[in-house]
Amino acid sequence: MVENGQNKLMRASKCIYVFFLTMLLSACNHGIPPQTDLEMDKQRPFTKEDPASISLMKPTTPLPQKPLRDFPYLRGINIGNALEAPEPGSWGVTIREEYFDEINKAGFNSVRLPVRFSAHIGSAPKYKIEADFLKLIDNNIQVALSNNLIIILDVHHFTELMENPEKEKEKFLSIWRQLSEHYQYAPPQLFFDLLNEPEKSLDSKRWNEMVSEVIPIIRMTNPTRKIIVGGVDYSTINSLELLQLPADDNLIAAFHFYSPFEFTHQGADWVQGSDLWQNTTWTGTTAEKEIIQKDLDLALSWSIQNNIPVVMSEFGVIKKADNLSRLRWIQYLTQEASRRDIGWVYWDFCAEFGIYNCESQTWDRELLSALLSNQQLE
């Protein structure tokens, strides 16, 4: 890999940043037994391509450090409003094969595919996923993989489960049993994302129980597949604290980031009262930036303390917001996420928050570069 000066500078500042955060955390962790060099090497915060970090990290012997896992840094995009609509296409986005090529060529390395499986299953006790629907999903997965993209398959808009977790649990388990069997031989670039934004009656106790039941089901057929798990309350950063994950080296915790909500969701027709937020700007004041930094620090400390990687699997600004503010927020957030080694998946491709125009088949070049400049490239 050839690194330019800017990349080197970014990497160096990231090392220093994580070093200081680690020092800070160490103050609260005196009780932790010292680690051997070997253990430390396994948990080194920066991956093999970043030898500069090693000398910085070595002196901090007994500290919990950012997990080193075989987990790529995600720069992805959610293809929203397509397969999680009540019927494919009914929210105006129909996925075309060429989109995956466009996404790859633009510089993303991953795609999250939200799917409303719960609208395409038969009756109890099998809750069989409709064969034609599954074929459609297969096709999208295959095309994404053949375009060199990681594809995150996400069970999305399972509203019945949120409202009635006990009654609907079997459906959820059955969907994952079927998907696991069906995709057990798929390449490791297919990731599973258990459930989008658990909320309402699916509280943390119930969600943690469900996670502890569904993961062993998936593991029966997919022993090492990456599984992404978000917390309750719409997977906010604060909900990471409530998440209890089983010991498993291939789990990734996710959070969604739409803060300040009044800015990112101004005029969103699915958010009551959001008309009043129209014209909210984000100018990047020190106070505005500090909010983002503090939130991302929380996610990073959770990741370090729990030794589990985190990913920001949704974030974005509605197109109704003023363009300059959108640009600033997107650029600042992705830059700060990257400094903390937190991968991200933008919401969304060509719908309300989109950065691509599916009719003219063109990117919003400024937003694209706001997203992808300053990013880790392998």
Q: What's the number of CA atoms in the CB half-sphere (13 Å) around residue 242?
A: 21
Residue pointed to by tokens 């990117």: 363
| For ligand BGC, the closer CB: 100 or 347 | 347
| For ligand BGC, the closer CB: 11 or 156 | 156
| For ligand BGC, the closer CB: 85 or 304 | 85
Among 291, 281, 270, 253, smallest CA distance to 91 is for: 270
- Exposed / middle / buried, residue 245 (Cβ in 10 Å: 0-12, 13-18, 19+): middle
- Site for ligand BGC (CB under 6 A): how many residues? 7
H-run or E-run covering 110: strand 110-115
Cβ at position 44, least distance to ligand BGC in Å: 33
What x-and-dash track marks residues 269-308 binding ligand BGC by CB under 6 A?
----------------------------------------
Tell which one of 347, 349, 356, 363 touches ligand BGC (CB under 6 A): 347
H-run or E-run covering 111: strand 110-115
Amino acid at 369: S
What 93-102 contacts at long range (C-beta under 8 Å, 24+ apart), as own/partner pairs, is 93/349, 93/350, 93/351, 93/358, 95/140, 96/358, 97/143, 98/361, 99/349, 99/356, 99/358, 100/143, 100/144, 100/146, 100/147, 100/149, 101/147, 102/356, 102/361, 102/363
Q: Does 233 bind ligand BGC (CB under 6 A)?
A: no
| For ligand BGC, the closer CB: 314 or 336 | 314
| For ligand BGC, the closer CB: 154 or 336 | 154
Cβ at position 144, least distance to ligand BGC in Å: 19
- Spatial separation of the C-alpha atoms in residues 112 and 191, rounded to whole Å: 9
Q: Restricting to residues 51-110, name those near ligand BGC by CB under 6 A.
A: 80
DSSP designation for 316: -
Q: Restricting to residues 140-169, name those near ligand BGC by CB under 6 A.
A: 156
| For ligand BGC, the closer CB: 53 or 196 | 196
Tell which one of 168, 197, 233, 295 touches ligand BGC (CB under 6 A): 197
> Are 342 and 293 within 8 A, CB to CB?
no
| For ligand BGC, the closer CB: 15 or 151 | 151
Both tokens of 225, joined, read 């597949």
For CA atoms 287, 328, 358, 134, give the dihedral sign. Answer: negative
Tell which one of 314, 338, 341, 356 touches ligand BGC (CB under 6 A): 314
Cβ at position 278, least distance to ligand BGC in Å: 16
Cβ at position 347, least distance to ligand BGC in Å: 5
Cβ at position 35, least distance to ligand BGC in Å: 38
Residues near ligand BGC (CB under 6 A) are 80, 156, 196-197, 314, 347, 352
